Amino acid sequence: MKTRFAFFFSLILLISCTKESDRPDMDYPTTFKLRRFDQVQPVRMFTRNGEVKDAAFIKKHALTQRMQMLYDVGATAPDDASATDITLLSRSEAEMNSGSLTRYDVKKQGDALLLTSKEERSSGYSRSDEFYMDLMIGLSKYKPLIYDKQPLPPASNTGFTYTYKTKEQLVASVKGQELLVHRLAFAYQNLHSWRSLVINNQFDPTGISLLRDGDTLVIQEFAIVGVPVK
């Protein structure tokens, strides 16, 4: 069963400041409606011993199939694309409307536009999820914005070992007249469990160094294209 492409992830992308003149030169405000997939990369597989190069093996592997249950890049458009607009209000502000409105600060880092929500959120994770959290951060080219991490006492009964604060973020780029929202899908398994997730980010290969004996990882990068609304 495919998961809809909601863009609300609490763990995406750390941003940094650049000069105002580095921002894209366009008319403001400009609204983009998400329409289709682009820049779809082949699925890649990694283990502790390095990258697996057998494309047929990767395609048939159960972990690849589990990951691709989250999306369908062969579709004409993402499941919820017609309901999602992103508006660049100015060089420094944007908003996304996907049924509810989210406001973002915009800054540029390299070729990317990094949109950081103005709303702070709280979240947490257990000790058993600590490696998975570290792996997700390691695989992210733009590191998640996580701060005020605090341990919780064992008797808190929240299910969390740690709490933290975060702001959801998007990584995008401008291609001609279109806006690309970059996505990273990945799935991980060891001898005991597996996880799969799609996040707003690009791949950082240095994160592969975190894999342990018995770990398998598959990743796929793609983008969702925003077409300007006339």
Measured from the Cβ of residue 10, the count of other Cβ atoms closer than 10 Å reads: 17
Q: Which two tokens stand for residue 161?
A: 């070992």
DSSP element (H, E) containing 147:
strand 146-151
Give the per-residue pLDDT at 5.
Answer: 41
Is-contact 10 179, C-beta < 8 A?
no
H-type alpha helices, 69-169? 130-139
Mean pLDDT of the residues in the chain: 86
Helices (H), the chain: 55-60, 62-68, 130-139
Name the nearest CA neighbour of 184 among 1, 2, 9.
Answer: 9
- Comparing C-alpha atoms, which of 140, 173, 157 is closest to residue 9? 140
**Chain segment 11-51, per-residue pLDDT in tens:** 333 223 333 344 456 789 999 999 889 999 999 999 999 99
Model confidence at 79, pLDDT cuts 50, 70, 90, reads low
Are the C-beta atoms of residues 200 and 170 closer than 8 Å to each other? yes
Q: 51 is written with which tokens?
A: 């990258």
Instruction: Please determine, for residue 147, whether its predicted confidence score (pLDDT) is greater than 70.
Output: yes
196 φ, ψ to 5°?
-145, 145
For the chain, the straight-line distance linking the first and the last C-alpha, in angstroms and rounded, comes to 34
Query: Is 58 in contact with 213 (CB distance < 8 Å)?
Result: no
pLDDT at 3: 40
**Residue 225 pLDDT exceeds 80:** yes
Q: Residue 70: its pLDDT value, please? A: 84
